[in-house]
Amino acid sequence: MGNTKTVSVLGLGRMGSALATALAHEGFAVRVWNRSAKPRPAGTVEATLEEALAADVVVTCLSTYDVQQPLLTNGVKTLVNLTSGTPEQARATARWAKENGVEYVDGVIMAVPQQIGTDQARILFSGSEDHHVLQAFGEPVHLGEDAGLAALYDLALLGLMWSTFGGYLQALALVGSAGVTPERFTPLATDWLAVVSTLLPPMGEETHTRNYETDVSALDINVSGLRLLTEANAEQGLDTSLPQVLHHLFERAKLNGHGAHGIASVIEEIRK
């Protein structure tokens, strides 16, 4: 059955094309606009910018807020912004929307284009509680009224991902320097990450209560471990910037009195 709402998608990059395809699949009347000529996703209609902005819901998925903001006009009814940015950029757009009578939903896509429209995609959103068309893309999760929350969660989760990728690549280079292949090492790495992830909830609780007493592993011993990691990478002729950053950060926490505390106490250095 068709969906009576008209929805437009501004931006037919990798992600915007996947979003437009998912909307058409859900039966929405989909208008698409892109700055340069791009293949039109099946089931969608090409529109001028003016026509696209007149739709019931305007979904934006452009490279940055800087390229997005000049395109928007106060004739927009509902704006579902899926362009990545900082919390302050989202809040500024929310203020613009309020001043111009535009309903504003700020969302972030925790998926790659190939996962859009599947149960692997999760869309975190903040601002308006009405998720409008987001369920066409994945599972919508409302985070709160503050429009900046989605961007905040997005960058926090991506930061975790990038740190993990950095750690994995450093580990691959380290074992690779002795001829160990990724195929041999990676199963141990994924099992290890599963163990490590069980440590996050108690650590999170410690950062909340700020009680860092531990009978598991003191910061002291981890500072020594990070020194060994840095030295081992240097010995194997590898770049040491990543282990050094962690070593310095953990060591600062130790020097500031947390040597006998758990690793969670490092957050006291980060919060400054």
Pick the binder of ligand NAP from 7, 8, 11, 93 (CB under 6 A): 11
Give the residue with the Cβ less far from ligand NAP, 112 or 245.
112
43-62 positions binding ligand NAP, by CB under 6 A: 61-62
Distance in angstroms (rounded) separating the CA atoms of residues 54 and 89: 23
Angstrom distance (rounded) from CA 126 to CA 187: 37
Minimum Å distance from CB 102 to ligand NAP? 19
Name the residue nearer to ligand NAP (CB basis): 84 or 230. 84
Stretch that binds ligand NAP, among 22-30, 35-43, 94-102, 238-246 (CB under 6 A): 35-43
Residue 87's Cβ-side half-sphere holds a number of Cα atoms within 13 Å equal to 13
Query: In whole angstroms, how close is the CB of 144 to ligand NAP at the nearest point?
Result: 20
Under 8 Å CB-to-CB from 159, ≥6 apart: which residues? none
Per rule CB under 6 A, is residue 15 in the interface with ligand NAP? yes
Residue 255, exposed/middle/buried by CB under 10 A (0-12, 13-18, 19+)?
exposed
- Encoded one letter per residue, x for contact with ligand NAP by CB under 6 A and - for no contact, window 74-113 reads ---------xx------------------------x--xx
What value, to the nearest 5°, has the Cα angle with vertex 267 and ends 264 and 268? 115
CB count within 10 Å of CB 231 equals: 13
Q: Order of strands, edge to edge, in the sheet holding 139-144?
A: 44-46, 29-33, 6-10, 57-60, 78-81, 103-110, 122-127, 139-144
The footprint of ligand NAP on residues 148-187 (CB under 6 A) is none
Residue in 8, 34, 81, 222 binding ligand NAP, rule: CB under 6 A? 34
Mark the segment that binds ligand NAP (CB under 6 A) among 33-41, 47-55, 134-142, 208-216. 33-41
Nearest to 140 by CA among 112, 114, 106, 98: 106
Q: Judged by CB under 6 A, does residue 25 bind ligand NAP?
A: no
Cβ nearer to ligand NAP, comparing 25 with 38: 38
Residue 40 lies near ligand NAP (rule: CB under 6 A)? no
Region of 13-21, 25-33, 86-94, 187-195 interacting with ligand NAP (CB under 6 A): 13-21
Nearer CB in complex with ligand NAP: 69/224: 69
Contacts of 8 (CB under 8 A, 6+ apart): 30, 31, 32, 33, 47, 51, 52, 53, 55, 57, 58, 59
Q: If DSSP codes are grouped into helix, strand and coil, which group holds residue 38?
A: coil
- Please compute, for residue 126, the number of CA atoms within 13 A of its CA located in the half-sphere on the CB side: 18
* Residues at the contact surface with ligand NAP, assessed by CB under 6 A: 11-16, 34-36, 38, 61-63, 67, 83-84, 109, 112-113
